[in-house]
Structure 1
Amino acid sequence: MSAIVAIPPGTHHVKFLVDGEMRTSPSLPTAVDDTGILVNYLEVSADDMPPLHRVPTPTADESTTTITTPPAVPLREPSSTTTAATEQQHSSIPPSSTNTPAPLLYTAEIPSYLRDLDNLDDDRSAGYAAPPPPTLPMMLQKVILNGSSSMRDDASVLSIPNHAVLNHLATSSIKNSILAVSATTRYKKKVFFAFLPV
């Protein structure tokens, strides 16, 4: 089965519905549309169109445009075993009535393949839930502040921090509406702790 469709110049997305499933053709180029679905596309330039069947481009003063379409192509050739009655029936139909397209029907119903596409998006989001975050590495689980110090007499002396906590911002839990923020910085062999109550 074949059909000729007059389309205006530009890029047009194409999707094929086969046995109720939307598929792409491997013989056409593919792209991702606005909804993230893989589709085929056609690029039609004004040079590709025959001069008799070009779609006129609208001007600023025109409110409507007319589109000339090519004559209809028969979908199948008549077989040689047609009877005289069918030949007479075909000859009684005026040729102008076979070329007129059927009037378009507009409905408020959403096609089933579009509803299925929306359900497919819901299924994807449920199937691709984010995994739980990884646990902290061992070097970040050791807290220097408020920990036991190597010098029992002087509580202001802290042990040397791990290299992984340098230049990181640390916060304490909120106690009495006060949040303590600290940063650890190293200069040569010296380590500095800066505390700022917020």
Structure 2
Amino acid sequence: LPTVFKWEGGGKEVYIGGSFNNWKAKIPLVKSQNDFYTIVDLPEGEHEYKFYIDGNWVKDPNEPTKSNNIGSENNVVKVRNTDFEVFEALAIDSRTDSSGSPPGEYSQVIPVKQTGVKISGPPFLPPQLLQIILNKDTPAHCEPSLLPEPNHVMLNHLYALSIKDGVMVLSATHRFRKKYVTTLLYKPI
């Protein structure tokens, strides 16, 4: 069963060893920002483990511990099949109220249109979407067919430039891995 191990105590090189592999091999943890992680497939049961940080065996003070028969203290993890049962987890989730709806009364009745009330109009466009890359000038030393890298909020939106010389220009920018592709459509009006 896949079990996640996490070390938050710093260090340069972090490994893990335990009773699950008879303490023979040290499994490396991968650094992610300030913490270290690894996923180990463990059989069901109770397993003792310790972290090997920069040449020293260390137990995690935030996790449960157990004394072994030679007098040292190790962390312990209990792996159960029931922890991985999807339907039970879904049932537990459905018992909690996570609707996020504010309290109050709801109905299917359409409200009566109010007369004499001034409607302010549609909401304003968020300021991030006003930075259209098609309207920006490229620096003189750059290839004119290359556009600057777009902001992440500009992706997957359809932009329409104002009509000039009887031509409407539509654009959309999409990302594929580290590449950005901007598609332009020219429509004569």
Do they fold alike, i.e. is TM over 0.5? no
Larger radius of gyration: 1
Q: Which has the higher strand share?
A: 2
Q: Which has the higher helix share?
A: 1
TM superposition score category, shorter chain reference: 0.3 to 0.5
